[in-house]
Structure 1
Amino acid sequence: MAEVSPRQRNRLLITLDLFFFVFGGVSAAWLAYLVLQAGISPGWPMLLMVLFWVLAAYLALPRIHRILTAIYLPDYFIGRARTADGLLGDPVNLALRGSSGQIHQAMRAAGWTRADEVTLGTGWRIVTSTLTGRSYAAAPVSPLLLFGRQQDFAYQQEVAGSPSRRHHVRFWKCPPGWLLPGGFAVDWLAAGTYDRSVGLSLFTGQITHKIDQDVDIERDHILDTVTAAAPAAQVELLRNFSTGYHSRNGGGDRIETDGDLPVVDLSGLPPTATSELAVEPEADGVHRPPQVVFGALVAALLGLEYLGLLLLLLVPDSPTIGVPPPITGVEIVAEGVFAAMGLVNLLLALALLTGRDWARVLLCGSSVVSIVVAWVGNAAGTERISLSTNLAAVAVSVLVLLALSSEPARTYAEARRSRRKSGKGSPAGP
């Protein structure tokens, strides 16, 4: 049998990932429909309508947008950032020259606060702060993508102590040798907007900040504060850099701009203590994303469930003193299956945590099989999916598929594989 070349193996993996990604989006939409169907009943099942909104807004619609925008949106610089769902986000309305330390120095001197990174803890804190009206000066901003990656850092100014209203600006480091259209060389690009309130996204229904539509006012506010605090900064204006337009951002908010792009040169600022102001090094995809942790947790719990069933078989129901219970052939086979499935799932969980792509693909494949079997049974009427049958099991399979077919999960596996090939070894966990 001919050996599979690395190129063929990579092509096969790309094809499988594309299938898992698309199938995951279709499965999420189907799961949302099943929950909606179960929730249209009098009494407590009506509470499932909240779960339907969560599934539709945070799982199904984002994945569908991601699939469609990969088809019709160009993958090159057009003066707009993109959301994690692939939608066009805020306009790029600032460019900068200088080091990261000089940007940090200028922004802090101008009275801006660096935004925290998005984590479970900071996400929960901004929710509670918004609901209670408490100040959170370093509240995180949602990730937007430029050059295929999210912002390197962001700064903000809270207004009247309310986390729902704030000035904020995201910064992206330009790739080496990259030039703006027209041949202008800059080191950083930025997108500044003003959050006026909290509401629902027009395109996904997610809870998000709503921005003021005149983004030029925010651009000028950033310029005024920075140049006032750093007189050595020089500003060059690229007029009509992009055609002035009216549009919407990824949350559906209207935006309008004159298309001018200020270029702020901070390279003349005096040197700073870069150890205090430098950007923290990125994880290079080697820290485990929550999607991978979730998939591994489900696999581990499934493995423990099989081992628990094995223990139930090994412990007799009503043992007779001094007389061991007879063991049938069926019990021996069942014990072997439970032991094998338990160990296999625990092995998959461990392999997934260490970035083994084969484990991710196997778990995605097993989730696809489970979803297809459930769909066929439901369509044929042999096993209707409902709250009292296997809706929870179907939901777990869909969630695992969505998690492990996501871009963070793929990037993590690719980064760990690259590190192993380069001989750098396995870094510590998150």
Structure 2
Amino acid sequence: MTGPAAVDEDGNTAGTSPAHEGGGAAETVVDRLFFTFSGLSCIWFAVVLLQSSLEWGHIWFLVVFWAALAYLVLPRLHRILTRIYLPDYFIGRSRTSDGLLGDPVNVAVLGTGGQIHAVMEKAKWTLADPVTAVSSRRIITSTLARRSYDEAPVSPLFLFGRQQDFAYQQEVDGNPGKRHHIRFWKAPAGWLLPGGISVNWLAAGTYDRAVGLSLFTLQVTHKIAAGIDAERDYVVESIRSAAPEARVRTIKDFSTGYHSRNGGGDSITTDGDLPIVDLTGIPAPESVPAVLQNPRATRPLPTLFGAVLVACRGFAALFLTFALAAAVTDGSLTGPLLGTTPTPDVSAALAPAAVVMGLFALTEFLLAWFISRGGNRARVTAMTFGALSIIAQFIATLSGGPAITMATTLVSFSLDILLILALSSERARIFARSRTGSLRGPLNPDPLPSSAA
């Protein structure tokens, strides 16, 4: 970047972006420990899956191994490594949820979120749905069936330590695999661009040309067109056409022109210019969509997934509770779950064991509820249970115990790994820690007018 460094009222150099500036919740030592532990655990998990897939009857496990490698192991390894070698300050690039450099920041905006919405709506752009279980399923089915989905969600990219506040898009030829789209991030209060220039929003606009595999993680993802400057200019021109009163000035050579790759491994090239779109003269609407009023209220998928896994663990404990209670009632341990008629010593222990399992099931259900609500203590407690289970499994394996297979503990082991990976993710951590305070605090420092305003 060029231009002299400026310092804001908090003593931060312009262009830097420590995690707290964007409202990203501060990461604690406990978060780091679980994050690293989950990375090491998923490597072991991948090795276990690969060993199982090499058995002739389990050749289909190769698909499971690819899924674990692409969506668990490689993303977490990238996340750990990029924390070491990538700078944690503004360099004009967003990041993927895996920590890789994402799409370049190529548009800046002066104005409010409501003014952006008014102009983008007038320019025939569609507000993208948040990433949820429902929208994720719909984008997959729409892409496979080539059915139109105008509000299709875009993947999360991170700037200022948090994902985009909202995104807009234009579908091409009714095909969700091809679309113009642009993500917007609210700049932290008092934050300045390198050179001391104040803006309210930063944005990254790119064009999705097809669906393919990521070069770096092997995940199924959208592939973008290399000439991102053409998309930047398309966005700016669509705004100027819809709102001639919008003023645009361009910072030439804001960054050095370069050829690079984004987080999916797609080639990108840019001249480094940054247009600043001034929308302060645009009338703000009286009401805006809910996602613009409070973009952090949406529960992220990792949080929802983690809560479901904890609930599943609760149901398993509840099933065992009923089995033990039935054994106490009829005085036998019949059935495939419990085995044969108990000895007197075993019979005496059945009732207390049923009570303990019942309490454990209740605890798991409560944890699942509080996790889904954004409870940070519940999140840490659930990860602790999962970590203890994984450690016990590791010790048992080293001690010559039974191998982890489908016939033994592979399913429960997999669920514990998935649980910690989900709840230790950045999106789950930020959501949980932000819910302990006001969502209108640093996460949304400039709340937009509600429909009642």
Match of 2:415 in 1: 396
Shift of 1:407: 2.9
1:67–1:92 CA distance, 2 compared to 1 (3 A): same
Shift of 1:310: 2.1
Whether contact under 8 Å (1:201, 1:208) holds in the other structure is: yes
One-letter amino acid matched to 1:376? I
Match of 1:60 in 2: 73
Match of 1:332 in 2: 348
One-letter amino acid matched to 1:259? G
In the superposition, the TM-score normalised over structure 1's length comes to: 0.87
1: CA distance between counterparts of 2:404 and 2:380?
26
Shift of 1:89: 0.3
- 2:32 is paired with a residue whose SS is helix
1:243–1:318 CA distance, 2 compared to 1 (3 A): closer
Shift of 1:53: 1.2
One-letter amino acid matched to 1:340? V
One-letter amino acid matched to 1:213? A
Instruction: Please say if 1:79 is aligned against 2:92.
Output: yes
2: CA distance between counterparts of 1:391 and 1:117?
33
Alignment of 1:265-344 (within 5 A): 265-275=278-288, 279-283=292-296, 289-316=303-330, 328-344=344-360
Structure 1 stretch displaced more, 79-88 or 385-394: 385-394
Instruction: Please say if 1:190 is aligned against 2:206.
Output: no
Q: Please identify runs of 4+ aligned residues in structure 1 that moved more than 6 A.
A: 285-288
Match of 2:165 in 1: 152
Shift of 1:278: 8.0
Shift of 1:416: 4.4
Match of 2:270 in 1: 257
Q: 1:365 aligns with which of 379, 384, 402?
A: 384
Shift of 1:286: 7.7
Match of 2:42 in 1: 28
2: CA distance between counterparts of 1:152 and 1:394?
35
Alignment of 1:99-118 (within 5 A): 99-118=112-131
Instruction: Please say if 1:382 is aligned against 2:401.
Output: yes
One-letter amino acid matched to 1:265? D
Whether contact under 8 Å (1:284, 1:415) holds in the other structure is: no
Match of 1:10 in 2: none
1:307–1:60 CA distance, 2 compared to 1 (3 A): same
One-letter amino acid matched to 2:355? A
In the superposition, the TM-score normalised over structure 2's length comes to: 0.82
1:193–1:275 CA distance, 2 compared to 1 (3 A): closer
Match of 1:6 in 2: none
Shift of 1:140: 1.0
1:414–1:390 CA distance, 2 compared to 1 (3 A): same
1:338–1:277 CA distance, 2 compared to 1 (3 A): closer
Structure 1 stretch displaced more, 95-104 or 337-346: 337-346
- 1:182 is paired with a residue whose SS is coil
| Partner deviation per Cα, 1:218-261 (whole Å, 9 max, x = no partner) | 00111111111111011101001011111110001011100000
Structure 1 stretch displaced more, 308-317 or 383-392: 308-317
1:332–1:317 CA distance, 2 compared to 1 (3 A): closer
Match of 1:130 in 2: 143
Structure 1 stretch displaced more, 56-65 or 275-284: 275-284
Whether contact under 8 Å (2:311, 2:368) holds in the other structure is: no
| Partner deviation per Cα, 1:128-161 (whole Å, 9 max, x = no partner) | 1111111112211111111111111111111111
Match of 1:49 in 2: 62
1:87–1:196 CA distance, 2 compared to 1 (3 A): same
Whether contact under 8 Å (1:291, 1:409) holds in the other structure is: no
1: CA distance between counterparts of 2:331 and 2:50?
42
1:399–1:218 CA distance, 2 compared to 1 (3 A): same
Instruction: Please say if 1:241 is aligned against 2:254.
Output: yes
- 1:193 is paired with a residue whose SS is strand
1:107–1:416 CA distance, 2 compared to 1 (3 A): closer
Structure 1 stretch displaced more, 216-225 or 386-395: 386-395
Larger RCO of the pair (alpha carbons < 8 Å, separation 6+) = 2
Structure 1 stretch displaced more, 381-390 or 127-136: 381-390
1:102–1:305 CA distance, 2 compared to 1 (3 A): same
2: CA distance between counterparts of 1:308 and 1:99?
56
Name structure 2 gaps, 5 residues minimum.
1-26, 334-340, 442-453
Whether contact under 8 Å (2:186, 2:201) holds in the other structure is: yes
Whether contact under 8 Å (1:310, 1:339) holds in the other structure is: no
Match of 1:322 in 2: none
Whether contact under 8 Å (2:92, 2:105) holds in the other structure is: yes
Name structure 1 gaps, 5 residues minimum.
1-12, 320-324, 423-430
2: CA distance between counterparts of 1:103 and 1:350?
41
Match of 2:449 in 1: none
2: CA distance between counterparts of 1:62 and 1:115?
24
| Partner deviation per Cα, 1:50-106 (whole Å, 9 max, x = no partner) | 111111111111111111111211111110011111111000000011111211111
Whether contact under 8 Å (1:101, 1:278) holds in the other structure is: no
Match of 1:176 in 2: 189
Whether contact under 8 Å (1:295, 1:403) holds in the other structure is: no
- For these two proteins, the number of residue pairs brought into alignment is 402
